[in-house]
Amino acid sequence: MIVEEVKKILGEGQGQGRGVVLAGDMNSPEGDDAYKIFTAPGSLLRDARADVPPEKRYGHQNTFSGFGNKNVVPQRIDFVFAAEEEGGRKASWTITNYSVLENKFDDEIYSSDHRPVVVDLFLS
């Protein structure tokens, strides 16, 4: 349903260079069906992290920490996806940075069991 909505939004641009950014807690690691559907050929969505070389990424690998509970497996389940118009003029953007920040303050208090994901996306 989400992939179809993205295609609809981009299709309404009729070659005007529209783009879509979809971000959030997908509760689905990369190997699960939801992630595979979002990034499948023809969906137009791409994982923003894939646009940034590993040496330019900052912070943690996993976005879900489970508050550091030893019985919870940390995972990457929070994503930023970007999509551009298929055919016609593409959105003029470049993804230059991908970061997963800390979710625990200096006083050891967690702000959330998820870490913030920050993507620098420059429009031109």
Q: Domain of 104: which CATH number?
A: 3.60.10.10
Q: What's the average model confidence in pLDDT over 59-69?
A: 93
Q: What's the average model confidence in pLDDT over 86-115?
A: 84
At residue 12 the predicted structure's pLDDT band, cuts being 50, 70 and 90, is low
The predicted pLDDT at position 91 comes to: 59
- How many domains is the chain built from? 1
**pTM to 2 decimal places:** 0.86
Percent of the chain past pLDDT 70, that is, above it, reads: 88
pLDDT in tens, 15-63: 566 788 999 999 999 999 999 999 998 888 889 999 999 999 999 999 9
The predicted pLDDT at position 68 comes to: 85
The predicted pLDDT at position 116 comes to: 96
Going from the C-alpha of 115 to that of each of 35, 54, 88, the distances in angstroms are 18, 18, 36
Residues spanned by the domain of 83: 2-123
- On average, the pLDDT of the chain sits at 87
The predicted pLDDT at position 6 comes to: 86
The predicted pLDDT at position 16 comes to: 65
Tokens matching residue 16: 């005007």
Give the CA count within 13 Å in the CB-facing half-sphere of 119. Answer: 22
The predicted pLDDT at position 87 comes to: 55
